[in-house]
Amino acid sequence: MSEAGTFDTVRRGLSLSPELRSGLAGTVGLAVLQMSGRVAVPIAVQQGIDHGINGPSGPDPAVVAVVVALTLAALAISTLCGYLMTRRLFTVSETALGGLRSRTFRHIHDLSMLHQQSERRGSMVSRVTGDVDQISQFLQTGGVQLLLAGGQLIVSTVVMFAYSWQLTVVVLLSFGPAIGVIRFFQKRLAGAYRTVRERTGVMLGAVAESVVGATVIRAFGVSGRTARRLDTAVDDLRTAQQRAMRTSVLSFSSGEISAGLALSGVVVAGVLLGVDGDLTVGRLTAFLFLVTLFIQPVQIATEQLNEAQNAVAGWRRILDVLDVDPDVADPDDEGVELPAGPLSVRFDDVSFRYPGGPMVLSDVDLTLDARRKYAVVGETGSGKTTFAKLLTRLMDPAEGTVLLSGTPLTGVRFSSLRSRVVMVPQDGFLFDATVAENIRFAEPSLTDDQLRTAFTELGLGDWLAGLPAGLETAVGERGESLSVGERQLVALVRAYVADPDLLVLDEATSAVDPATEVRLQYALDLVTRGRTTVAIAHRLSTAESADEVIVVDAGRVVQRGPHARLVAEPDSIYAKLYASWLEQTR
């Protein structure tokens, strides 16, 4: 796909934003009217000279005044048309491209988690910002000029033919090689601009990393290294820009040279024709001016075609994203609702591997009953988070099926799935907003009182009251104005108010102090009674309080059962884990 041709890209780009075509005829009409104003002035000069200044009875100011007045009127109309045209163009193109930004943004969110992670955030951001800007810049300046140049090209060719077909052939022949050259450069230019857009994305990624990791960079005193990497990204972009510029200028100069060829060709051929008596001096002179009229739009067109490649590169990058199918897709209308009531879970011979990696989960075959609380434990990297992601359909298994209350997950409508199944991920992310807004992210309709009640129910009322501005406390970017444990508290309350039937906690309280965690655990058990809960934890206190424990080791479920029974299985993985937990905490 990525090597799709220019025209293909433009065609598809345009079909993405059908709004662009609305009123196109009107816009072009206005542009033509504006252009004709440019022609009015030379005509006025000629008319004024022929009839007013060189008039039969000497210079006649009255005639000139009439001509000037008429031309001024024409100029006024042209200016007005220019205003209307620009206004229309901006309104239409910005509206269409705004739509494109929104659509791309939405599509990126609809992509599967793994796809999202396969691309750097800076690069994704540039797809809804800079890449779109490239298109709008072209549409607002180059696009119309390109259309008009095309028109002028056709008109002047026709008129040239009327004057002398032989000379016209000479002109067309001298531009022949240029067309080949320009086509050649267009290809390279397409690649060059693509590189520019890509490196812009890389640069943004590098900047983002240096900003997000600012504290680590400082703590390790490695700003020199980071600066070097940033410089490389910045300079790579500059080299790419310069390369594109060089190619564009080369391509442009081929048109310029053809103009010289055409002009001298016309003189030579014209003289030869004239000597044979086929041409008069007047006609040749007129033709030479016509050639200029022909050359001008060719130059504009070359220039704008070059600019167009920049826009095409932007379009292509957007198409590249839009062309990726959300492989973990919402079945939407074809999907079903989850059955009402608490949810049970079934993993039917599920295996999973990350793209290009080894098996991370193998043959997981497991049933979790509704209304019970499960703890998933295991060493780091054993596959617990992977299990949770499959359970919440952030990913689809490579083999096997995940079912909720008997319904295969792939057939469940997202609107139903996401409101009934909620996960608190390992790194609870908060938005740069207030505590209240972050909680309302899960349930926008909640009143302040309901929010407070939620905190109180989880035993966090005191903590909330201790915040400088209570619910209205700003949490900062990614929640960084709160301590890490506090962030987890907010993320947990957020999941709690979503009121799910299946709650998945991936080390949701790993940074919270033991006393608070125990209290929270207790409160959570009370309020989530009657729902299904799956909690992943390294702190085995969670496992002790669960109805059942599932032990994962190297991607397989090796043990399951109530805590008391598993501990008693001698030499089992869980028994060892628990022994060391006891040793560590007592």
Partner 1 sequence: MTSGTGNDVLVRGLRVLGRAIRTEPRLFTISAIGSSFFGFLIIANSYVVGAVIGRVVVPAFSERRVSSGGLALTCAVLLGISGLRVASIWARRLGAGFMQFRLQARYRRAVTRRYLALPPEWHQRHATGTLLSNASSDVEAAFAPIAPLPFAVGTIVMIAGALVALFLTDWVLALVGVALFPALFALNFFYSRRMAPRQIHAQRMRAKVAAVAHESFDGALVVKTMGREADESRRFGVFVTELRDALVAVGRLRGVFDPLMESLPSVGTLAVLLIGTWRLQSGAITVTELISVAFLFTVLAFPVRAIGWVVGELPRSVAGWERVQAVLAAEGDLSYGTGDLPGTGPAELRFDRVDYRYADGPPVLSDVTFTVPAGTTVALVGATGSGKSTIAALAMRLVDPESGSVSLDDVKLPDLSAPALAAATGLVPQIPFVFDDTVRGNVALDRPEIDDDAVRAALRLAQAEGFVSALPDGLDTEVGERGTSLSGGQRQRLTLARALAGRPRLLVLDDATSAVDPRVEAAILGALRESGTSLLVVAYRRASIALADLVVYLHQGRVVATGTHTELMDSQPGYRDLVTAYEKADQ
Ligand X SMILES: Nc1ncnc2c1ncn2[C@@H]1O[C@H](COP(=O)(O)OP(=O)(O)OP(=O)(O)O)[C@@H](O)[C@H]1O
Q: Which residues bind to ligand X, rule: CB under 6 A?
A: 117, 354, 357, 360, 378, 380-386, 426, 476, 480-486, 511
Question: Exposed (0-12), middle (13-18) or buried (19+): which is 529, by Cβ within 10 Å?
Answer: exposed
The nearer residue to Mg ion, 24 or 359, going by C-beta atoms, is: 359
Quick one: which of 305, 442, 475, 551 contacts partner 1 (CB under 8 A)? 442
Given the rule CB under 8 A, which of 16-24, 132-140, 175-183, 340-348 is the region that contacts partner 1? 132-140
**375-434 residues near Mg ion, rule: CB under 5 A:** 385
Closest-CA residue to 87 (of 37, 26, 18): 26
Residue 491 C-beta: closest distance to ligand X, Å: 12
Q: Report the C-alpha gap between 174 and 570 in whole angstroms.
A: 91
Residue 501: which of ligand X, partner 1, Mg ion, none does it interact with, CB under 5 to 8 A by kind? Answer: none
Least distance in Å: CB of 389 to ligand X? 8
Instruction: Select 172 or 511, whichever has its Cβ closest to Mg ion.
Output: 511
Give the other-Cβ count within 10 Å of 355's Cβ: 8
Scan for tokens 């409508």, then name that residue.
413
What residues between 366 and 385 interact with Mg ion by CB under 5 A?
385
Residue whose CB is less far from partner 1, 8 or 82: 82
Pick the closer one to partner 1 by CB: 319 or 498. 498
Contacted entry of ligand X, partner 1, Mg ion, none for residue 134, CB cut-off 5 to 8 Å set by kind: none
Q: How far is the CB of 250 from ligand X (least distance, A)?
A: 43
Residue 259 contacts which entry, partner 1, Mg ion, ligand X, none (Cβ below 5-8 A, type-dependent): partner 1
Provide the edge-to-edge strand list for the sheet that holds 548-553.
421-424, 502-506, 532-536, 373-378, 548-553, 556-561
Q: DSSP labels for 370-415?
A: TT-EEEEEE-TTSSHHHHHHHHTTSS--SEEEEEETTEEGGGB-HH
The span from the CA of 106 to the CA of 112, in Å, is 12
**CA nearest 542: which of 508, 576, 495, 570?**
508
Judged by CB under 8 A, which of 225, 327, 448, 472 binds partner 1? 225
Does the protein bind partner 1 through residue 176 (CB under 8 A)?
no
DSSP state of 5: -
Residue 271 touches partner 1, criterion: CB under 8 A: yes
* Binds partner 1 by CB under 8 A, chosen from 36, 145, 157, 241: 241
101: its two tokens? 């930004």
Phi/psi of residue 141, nearest 5 degrees: -115, -60
Question: Residue 128 touches which of ligand X, Mg ion, partner 1, none (CB < 5 to 8 A by kind)?
Answer: partner 1
Q: Are 466 and 431 in contact (CB under 8 A)?
A: no
- Does 200 sit near Mg ion (CB under 5 A)? no
Relative orientation angle of helices 121-128 and 281-322, to the nearest 10 degrees? 130
Among 367, 514, 530, 569, binds partner 1 (CB under 8 A): 514
Binding site partner of 450, from Mg ion, partner 1, ligand X, none, Cβ cut-off 5-8 A by kind: none
Should residue 459 be labelled a site residue for partner 1 when binding is judged by CB under 8 A? no
Binding partner at 456 among Mg ion, partner 1, ligand X, none, C-beta below 5 to 8 Å by kind = none
Residue 367 binding result from partner 1, Mg ion, ligand X, none, given CB thresholds of 5 to 8 Å by partner type? none
- Confirm or reject binding of residue 372 to partner 1 (CB under 8 A): no
- Write out the DSSP string of 85-109: HHHHHHHHHHHHHHHHHHHHHHHHH
* Residue 564: CB minimum distance to ligand X, A: 24
Smaller CB distance to ligand X: residue 134 or 559?
A: 559
- The residue nearest ligand X at its CB is 485
Which of 15, 166, 450, 580 touches partner 1 by CB under 8 A?
A: 580
- Closest distance to partner 1 from the beta carbon of 545 (Å): 7
* Coil, helix or strand at residue 8: helix
Site string for partner 1, 15-44 (x = CB under 8 A): -------------------x--xx--xx-x
DSSP character string of 429-480: ---SSBHHHHHHTT-TT--HHHHHHHHHHTT-HHHHHHSTTGGG-B--GGGT
Partner from ligand X, partner 1, Mg ion, none binding residue 465, C-beta < 5-8 Å depending on class? none
Say what the alpha-carbon torsion angle 185, 247, 293, 148 is, to the nearest 10 degrees.
80
Q: Taking the CA atoms of 155, 158, 161 and 167 in sequence, report the sign of the dihedral they define.
A: positive
Min. distance of Cβ 140 from partner 1 in angstroms? 7
DSSP 56: T
Amino acid at 394: L
Closest residue to bound Mg ion by CB:
385
Q: Which residues contact 102 (CB under 8 A, 6 or more apart)?
A: none
The distance of closest approach from Cβ of residue 358 to ligand X in the complex, given in angstroms and rounded to an integer, is 8
Least separation, in Å, of the C-beta of 135 and ligand X? Answer: 32
Phi, psi of 463 (to 5 degrees): -60, -45
Site for partner 1 in 46-85 (CB under 8 A): 48-49, 52-54, 58-61, 64-65, 67-68, 71-72, 75, 78-85
- Applying CB under 8 A, does 14 fall inside the site for partner 1? no
483 touching Mg ion, by CB under 5 A: yes
Instruction: By CB under 8 A, tell whether 517 contacts partner 1.
Output: yes
Chosen residue from 272, 469, 484, 582 binding Mg ion by CB under 5 A: 484
Q: Which of 541, 547, 561, 575 binds partner 1 (CB under 8 A)?
A: 541
Contact present, 205 and 123 (Cβ < 8 Å): yes
- Residue with Cβ nearer ligand X (30 or 536): 536
Among 463, 471, 527, 558, binds partner 1 (CB under 8 A): 463
Contact call for residues 406 and 357 (beta carbons, < 8 A): no
CA dist., res. 63 & res. 49, Å (int): 10
Binding partner selected for residue 325 from ligand X, Mg ion, partner 1, none, CB under the kind-specific 5 to 8 Å limit: none
Q: Which helix (H) or strand (E) holds 424?
A: strand 421-424
Which residues does residue 421 pair with via DSSP β-bridges, in sequence order?
502
Asked if 336 interacts with partner 1 (CB under 8 A), we say: no
Residue with tokens 């959300």: 326
The contact set with Mg ion (CB under 5 A) reads 385, 483-484
